[in-house]
């Protein structure tokens, strides 16, 4: 049986964990404190010593920050990400350069299957950012007969992604902004264009439409739980995100919102 927890989710920092028994993977480790991550993991029921690797979605600092480097070196566990993502992180901060020299970098290919210890990892190429983001990835993680899908920071939903989500038992998907709040935010026009464009973030409506495809009738298997992540602090609310997504998710499937600063419940997958 897999367990999953979100420790933080948003532009202030992103950290989640998935584990099977005593062994787990972090998913992203962005801005914040490595010590705080360790404390939160223990509170959730996963010893930091049980971390087998750190999956990194892309190179932006709220996903691939100092805590990732510190934890990888402290526990001698690899960073698993696309090589271009690591290279982008190195351009931002030279402290990432020695990860490969220390044997702490395991490059992932996009749209490919990888085996890491007890975990089967399928990568999904997703559109987000520019060169500074590297090569962003979403993940399907399998272990113990269960499957978790995880993807945040994608400006649009590639055609293949709903099929990947549908096979999972558990989904975490970005639902970043409300269209109306973003348009009325007073942000610079170029920023609004990027956020709402094909390499920016997913709106509530886009997330809802993708999940509508996932739960469309006629399939043999559907996910059993949905978590919405990476909500904008200024241009969204949990209430708006939930209301939009619940229109297209069956009533018997729980839908949750991951908090920006607080750990979620520990969900059994």
Rounded average pLDDT per 10-residue block, the chain, 269 residues: 95 95 96 92 97 97 96 97 97 93 96 96 95 96 97 95 97 98 96 96 98 94 96 97 97 96 96
Q: What's the pLDDT at 220?
A: 87
Q: Give the torsion sign (CA, 46, 50, 56, 61).
A: positive
Q: Are 136 and 161 in contact (CB under 8 A)?
A: no
Instruction: Report the CATH superfamily, name and number, of domain 2-262.
Output: Ribonuclease Z/Hydroxyacylglutathione hydrolase-like (3.60.15.10)
Encode burial over 228-255: b for 16+ CB neighbours within 10 A, e otherwise.
bbbbbeebbeeebbbebbeebbeeebeb
Q: What's the pLDDT at 87?
A: 97
Q: Is residue 140 classed as helix, strand or coil in its secondary structure?
A: strand
Q: What's the pLDDT at 1?
A: 86
């Amino acid at each position: 049986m897999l367990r999953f927890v979100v420790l933080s989710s948003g532009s202030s920092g992103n950290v989640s964990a998935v584990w099977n028994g005593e062994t787990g993977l972090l998913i992203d480790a962005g801005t914040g404190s490595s010590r705080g991550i360790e404390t939160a993991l223990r509170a959730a029921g996963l010893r930091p010593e049980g971390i087998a690797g750190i999956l990194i979605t892309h190179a932006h600092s709220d996903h691939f920050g100092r805590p990732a480097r510190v934890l990888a070196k402290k526990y001698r566990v690899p960073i698993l990400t696309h090589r271009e993502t690591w290279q982008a992180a190195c351009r931002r901060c030279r402290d990432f350069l020695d990860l490969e020299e220390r044997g702490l970098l395991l490059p992932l290919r996009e749209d490919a299957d990888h085996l890491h210890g007890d975990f089967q990892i399928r990568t999904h190429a997703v559109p987000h950012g520019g060169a500074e983001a590297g090569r962003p990835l979403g993940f399907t993680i399998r272990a113990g007969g269960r499957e978790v899908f995880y993807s945040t920071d994608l400006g649009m939903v590639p055609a293949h992604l709903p099929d990947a989500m549908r096979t999972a038992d558990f989904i975490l998907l970005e639902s970043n902004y409300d269209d109306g709040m973003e348009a009325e935010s007073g942000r610079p026009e170029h920023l609004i264009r990027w956020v709402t464009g094909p390499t920016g973030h997913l709106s509530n409506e886009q997330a809802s439409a993708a999940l509508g495809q996932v739960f469309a009738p006629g399939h043999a298997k559907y996910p059993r739980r949905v978590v919405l992540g990476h909500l904008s602090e200024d241009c969204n609310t949990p209430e708006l995100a939930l209301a939009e997504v619940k229109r297209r998710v069956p009533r018997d499937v729980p839908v949750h919102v991951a908090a920006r600063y607080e750990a979620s419940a520990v969900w059994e997958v």
